[in-house]
Amino acid sequence: MSQRQRTQVGIIGAGPAGLLLARLLEVHGIESVVLEARTRDYVEARIRAGVLEQGTVALLEEAGVAERLRREGLVHDGAEIATGGRRVRIDFRALTGKTVTVYGQTEITKDLIAARLAAGGPIVWEAKDVALHDIETARPRLTYDHAGATHELVCDFIAGCDGFHGVSRSALPASSRQAFERVYPFGWLGILADVAPCSSELIYAHHDRGFALASMRSPTRSRYYIQCDLDEKLEDWPDERIWQELKVRLDCEPPPNITTGPTIEKSIAPLRSFVSTPMQHGRLFLAGDAAHIVPPTGAKGLNLAASDVHYLSRALIAYYKKQDDSLCRAYGDTALARVWKAERFSWWMTTLLHKLHKKTSFEAQMQRAELDYLASSRAAQTALAENYVGLPF
């Protein structure tokens, strides 16, 4: 049996991008329906990023979902680069007047879901075989299967927030779609452990054995990453080996106080830079990982999704409240201008800090020269800081 429903904005994907967009629209009285292929338990358990730009925090406050973030989030005034046995602190607050906040994407997702459901906003979990129709018309449609029935959702607009592997991007005409991609020849082994962080701020380490990152989720939960080969398996990395490798790669002055313990989550992820253009066609808009991926080195993935949502929410609010479609028409170009700057910074951080070349190569000497310049130049540190804390919307 087929069932038909009507809404103003159909949103595909209940990740942070889709949920934040739905919440911001809801604050302004704009209706939406969120379709999610996975279960709520699966979505709320995904381990993802945790460093938020001030602009992202401001959007969450605007959406009315920042109460727990303000209570539990860790505000960081800077971060450190470890290279050549020393730690160089980049003082975000002194250099830019801005900070970042450590608060896990998992927690943001939980907060957004709770707010959505408390306000009675619909989320369709386990929406299968989602398909987009008539995106070039004034009445685009979504069809999907749920609970044994086929459903049709008629919208004014569709927001594709369903990630890199979602269906939204493929709905754009192949003749106009173009992809730009860089796949990096290594991965990140990431772990979570219920131990105190080794430092009060993040440490990005460049080492002859490979990159490492010391991060955290709370004062009692640490997040670490190690550069590894793409063909390595988790069984190759027992906890003892991980902690030993971290102690080697984070060996610098002053020495971080690494507390070891059992890992509670462990994964290996590939790194890529990816942008698909255009980010809109007809009444379909792409946001977040559906349109672009950044390597996690620059802490830009979640923040770039929030940037898209900032532009898209403003465009839709202007359309419904002022009958002004100019921001909708400009959305793709406006969002992409900021996307490419974040892609550049993430690519630069990745190529600067990872082991990519033989130690005796010209390229390796250039890495060292760049790191030495960063350590000695306030101008270089300011450029890093202003990109890390987030360029203006």
How confident is the model over 258-313, as pLDDT tens digits? 999 999 999 999 999 999 999 999 999 999 999 999 999 999 999 999 999 999 99
> Would you place residue 2 in the very low, low, confident or very high pLDDT band (cuts 50, 70, 90)?
low
Whether residue 266 sits in one domain with residue 130: no
95 part of a folded domain: no
Whether residue 304 sits in one domain with residue 277: yes
126 part of a folded domain: yes
Whether residue 376 sits in one domain with residue 239: yes
Is residue 300 flagged as an active site residue? yes
pLDDT for 47: 76
Is residue 256 flagged as an active site residue? no
Whether residue 369 sits in one domain with residue 342: no
86 part of a folded domain: no
Active-site annotation holder among 278, 296, 310, 331: 296
Whether residue 128 sits in one domain with residue 61: yes
82 part of a folded domain: no
User: What is the rounded radius of gyration, in angstroms, for the C-alpha atoms of the chain?
Assistant: 22
pLDDT for 69: 97
Counted residue by residue, the chain has a size of 393
Query: pTM of the entire structure?
Result: 0.96
- Is the pLDDT reported for residue 1 higher than 50? no
Whether residue 66 sits in one domain with residue 10: yes
Burial 40-62 (b: 16+ CB within 10 A, else e): beebeeeeebbbbbbbbbebbee
Residue 230 CB: number of other CB atoms within 10 A? 13
Active-site annotation holder among 103, 184, 225, 388: 388
- Is the pLDDT reported for residue 187 higher than 50? yes
- Is the pLDDT reported for residue 46 higher than 90? no
147 part of a folded domain: yes
85 part of a folded domain: no
297 part of a folded domain: yes
Q: For residue range 229-239, what is the model confidence (pLDDT) as tens digits? A: 999 999 999 99
What CATH number is given to the structural domain containing 338?
Answer: 3.50.50.60
Total domains, the chain: 2
Whether residue 139 sits in one domain with residue 116: yes
Active-site annotation holder among 103, 184, 204, 319: 204
Report angle CA 324, 327, 330 to the nearest 5 degrees.
135
Average pLDDT over every residue of 161-178: 97
Is residue 225 flagged as an active site residue? no
What CATH number is given to the structural domain containing 247?
Answer: 3.30.9.10
Active-site annotation holder among 76, 207, 310, 354: 76
Its domain, for residue 277, covers 2-73+102-180+273-349
Whether residue 159 sits in one domain with residue 115: yes
Whether residue 320 sits in one domain with residue 277: yes
197 part of a folded domain: yes
Average pLDDT over every residue of 79-93: 96
Active-site annotation holder among 300, 310, 331, 354: 300
Burial 163-176 (b: 16+ CB within 10 A, else e): beebbbbebbeeee
Is residue 42 flagged as an active site residue? no
Is residue 204 flagged as an active site residue? yes
Whether residue 264 sits in one domain with residue 200: yes
Residue 130 corresponds to which tokens in the numbers above? 């989602």
Whether residue 296 sits in one domain with residue 153: yes
Whether residue 150 sits in one domain with residue 236: no
